[in-house]
Amino acid sequence: MNKVNSELNPQRLPRHVVIIMDGNGRWAKQKKLSRLSGHKEGMKSASLAVKAAKELGIKYITLFAFSAQNWNRPEKEVIALMNLLKQYLESESKELVKRDIKLNAIGRLNELPDDVLDVLNSAIDLTSNCKGMTLTLALSYGGREEIIDAVNSIIEIGDRKAVDEKYFSGFLYTKDLPEPDLLIRTSGEMRLSNFLLWQLAYTEIYVTKTLWPNFRKSHLVRALLNFQKRERRFGLTSDQVKKEI
């Protein structure tokens, strides 16, 4: 693992890594355990991924923790997920401070249960002065919902007949975050699942068949190595990229 780590170029690390954490249910099914067991293991992987990202020098990491569509899951599972989220925030907040990691959250946060929202806000406040890395949790989040909310905010202000990308981006949940450089999706699924639809326009995508509960630092390193082998074009041709460099 140390040899693989040494292959990473610290000058070419993605600034912002986002992760669609998928596969908790399949992991549990393979082991003939409850879905809740899969979610618990997934929570452990989230803690390890954040720790690994900080150790490797990533400045921003965003985890797709609970989608706007997840509210449609069975009530028992939703309640269990909210309880796990609360436990994660309560158990990890002091550790985040210790590691100099600032907590952020995006999504329709007002839809979260009051007790969960209180714990979330407390953790955000506790870590507000941390500067080593920013961890963003996407909660009750949907990409389409984010765009709709941005449009409605612009309509409510009502002082413009037209907007450009920069102005529009200022109304997104992610207005204070850099655009993602690398998206990692676990479990082998090849879709965005309504995640950061606006922001992922030129993001590099890495898909691994590894189920999220099995995801460890070595998997993150492989994703970063793969990213460093790519030529990012942002819609330009190869020759144009070379000229920019």
- Write out the catalytic residue numbers: 22, 70
65 contacts 85 by C-beta, under 8 angstroms: yes
User: CA 105, CA 177: separation in Å to the nearest integer?
Assistant: 11
User: CA 196, CA 16: separation in Å to the nearest integer?
Assistant: 13
Other CB atoms within 10 Å distance of the CB of residue 64: 24
219 contacts 45 by C-beta, under 8 angstroms: no
User: CA 183, CA 73: separation in Å to the nearest integer?
Assistant: 25
Task: Give the CB-side neighbour count of residue 174, counting CA atoms within 13 A.
Answer: 29
Pairing of strands 182-185, 16-20: parallel
Amino acid at position 2, single letter: N
User: CA 92, CA 79: separation in Å to the nearest integer?
Assistant: 20
User: CA 182, CA 14: separation in Å to the nearest integer?
Assistant: 6
